[in-house]
Amino acid sequence: MTDHVVIVGGGITGLAAAWEALEQGHRVTVHEAGPRFGGLISTAPVDVPGPARLMVDEGADAFLARVPDALELCEQLGLGDQLCEPAVGRAMVHTADGLRWFPERSVLGVPTDVDALASTGLLSEAGLDRVRAEASISQGPPTADVAVGPFLRERFGDELVDRVVGPLVGGISAGDIDQMSLFATTPQIAAAALEGGPLSESLARRTAATPPGPVFNGLRGGTGSLVSALVDQLTRRGGDLRPGSALGREDIGGLRADLLVLTTPAAVTSSLVAQVSPAAAEALASIETASVALTTLAYPRAAFDWPSDASGYLVPRSSGLFLTAVSWGSTKWPHWGDGSHAIVRASTGHRGDDRFVSMDDDAVVDAIRADLELTCGLVAEPDGARVSRWIDGFHQYDVGHLDLVQRIQRDLDVDTAGRIRLAGASLHGVGIPACIRSGRSAVLGGPTVP
Ligand SMILES: Cc1cc2nc3c(=O)[nH]c(=O)nc-3n(C[C@H](O)[C@H](O)[C@H](O)COP(=O)(O)OP(=O)(O)OC[C@H]3O[C@@H](n4cnc5c(N)ncnc54)[C@H](O)[C@@H]3O)c2cc1C
């Protein structure tokens, strides 16, 4: 049995790994470079005049319920009664003619019912005909990984990809749908495609077989409350949690640990393993990232006619706008408001567009507000604004990502006799449930399949 597990990185992956290590009876140390734990997860106040303290997520505000690892961990931590579902789940899409509904009965935007897609008005008649033609286009199952965009363009045409699938799937990890790996980033589409035959039909069959239930869950105290609960309970159970303790490559060789779990961003991990496994380090360094900024705006509630039936809207890349998505925060999560304020969260930045990086916060807020006016007519003055910058926050899973991950871990296993395992969003899935699974699996030594 492993005795001392040392974890590098105190984001959700590292904390989940620590939780599993304690569950297995091991001694645990977590080294976190920053002053706080949670990494890309943070729930913090948005300042507004007066006594109100509006606690709003700076990044992730929900996690998939279909992948059960986050729900299970919440239950284990005693947070079950804090779980909540978005009050509204349906989003819209920005078009030159105004906002239109995202199609119902679709999987990541791929329609299982073309009439439902047609009713949104998002596609031209020619675009719809192209989608309808999918059933008659003979396409065998993919024999190797491909990019999501080209794969779907071939089957459904460009309009569906550029106006519907791209804004959603590209938005999940700020990626470029024409580079993203089908197998690593859209496993549900890949699994349906591997059945062969028309993709929309096999997605429809799979959807019909999926038990009903919420798609997403959040936490009333914000996703940051998952981090706080983990930190509290890990500390109480004897875990040695060390914030402000960045490890460098020179530290790795000298660490006295039976198992070392690295949950750091790929570039950091590459540097950490450079001396012990140059091949793994080189492969890790090849993983690209994208940066995003999330601007949270707190408006006087009476300032706008807030939609009550939409969770927000996506902005296709082809629009050239600064804005990539808007969430009607307090419509989606009623507990975010304080009665007198409404919360809006707006995203900017994606692979190939990091304009915000060189702008100061005021300039980012101005650019976001200009796009809000253009896309939904919101001109009111906010009472409070906050810009949360996530530089290199999203790792990009390009075609061949799953093979790359296997190769990296195999090289490390050979070079370190299995003493170092990798986990986290840089490799095994960006969603919180995938990170939790990856952290726990790294300790158990099992597979960490996205
Ligand atoms: C804006 C945004 C919105 C998101 N929304 C959602 C969502 O709604 N739902 C969802 O499921 N997911 C969402 N995600 C993704 C999810 O939040 C992340 O993928 C996940 O939190 C990553 O966790 P991690 O522990 O793997 O990595 P990180 O959180 O990046 O943790 C890595 C940690 O390593 C530390 N570190 C770095 N270098 C060193 C070093 N040398 N020594 C020690 N420590 C070091 C870092 O400080 C950091 O704390 C979102 C992400 C972003 C950026």
Q: Which domains does the chain have, with CATH numbers?
A: 4-40+218-288+397-444 (3.50.50.60), 103-208 (1.10.3110.10), 289-395 (3.90.660.20)
pLDDT of residue 85: 95
CA distance 143 to 126: 30
CA distance 94 to 243: 42
Helix (H, G, I), strand (E, B) or coil at 16: helix
Ligand 1: centre distance to CA 37 (Å)? 10
CB-based contact 74:80 (threshold 8 Å): yes
pLDDT of residue 448: 52
Q: Which of 435, 105, 420 is nearest to 255 (CA)?
A: 420
Q: How confident is the model at residue 212 (pLDDT cuts 50, 70, 90)?
A: confident
* Ligand 1 in reach of 13 Cβ (< 6 A): yes
Longest pairwise C-alpha distance within the chain: 65
Mean pLDDT of 404-421: 94
C-alpha neighbours within 13 Å on the C-beta side of residue 250: 0
Residue 423 CA to its chain's centroid (Å): 15
Is the pLDDT confidence value at 3 over 80? yes
Q: How confident is the model at residue 339 (pLDDT cuts 50, 70, 90)?
A: confident
Q: How confident is the model at residue 138 (pLDDT cuts 50, 70, 90)?
A: low
pLDDT of residue 298: 97
Q: How confident is the model at residue 251 (pLDDT cuts 50, 70, 90)?
A: confident
Query: What is the position in ligand 1's atom list of the atom closest to the CA of 423?
Result: 26
Site to probe by mutation for ligand 1, drawn from 230, 264, 270 as the one with most ligand atoms within 8 Å of Cβ, is: 264
pLDDT of residue 450: 44
Ligand 1: centre distance to CA 225 (Å)? 15
Mean pLDDT of 365-375: 98
pLDDT of residue 250: 87
* Ligand 1 in reach of 33 Cβ (< 6 A): yes
Mean pLDDT of 355-361: 98
Of the ranges 167-176, 280-289, 439-448, which one carries the lowest mean pLDDT score? 439-448
Mean pLDDT of 287-305: 97
Which protein residue's CA is at the shortest distance from atom 25 of ligand 1?
A: 11
CA distance 385 to 365: 7
Per the prediction, the chain carries an average pLDDT of 94
pLDDT of residue 447: 52
CA distance 124 to 122: 7
pLDDT of residue 337: 77
pLDDT of residue 146: 97
Is the pLDDT confidence value at 446 over 80? no
Residue 218 CA to its chain's centroid (Å): 14
Is the pLDDT confidence value at 227 over 90? yes
Tokens 């509630």 -> residue: 301
Please enumerate in sequence order all residues whose Cβ is within 8 A of that of 185, keeping only pairs 6 or more positions apart, or say none.
Answer: 148, 169, 172, 173, 175, 397, 401
Is the pLDDT confidence value at 318 over 60? yes
Is the pLDDT confidence value at 2 over 70? no
* Ligand 1 in reach of 246 Cβ (< 6 A): yes
Burial class (CB in 10 A: 0-12, 13-18, 19+), 383: buried
CA dihedral (117, 120, 125, 131) in degrees, to 10, reads: -20
Which protein residue's CA is at the shortest distance from atom 12 of ligand 1?
A: 431
Is the pLDDT confidence value at 310 over 50? yes
Is the pLDDT confidence value at 136 over 90? no
Is the pLDDT confidence value at 305 over 70? yes
pLDDT of residue 255: 82
Of the ranges 137-141, 214-218, 254-258, 268-272, which one carries the lowest mean pLDDT score? 137-141
pLDDT of residue 449: 46
Of the ranges 114-123, 128-137, 256-265, 440-449, which one carries the lowest mean pLDDT score? 440-449
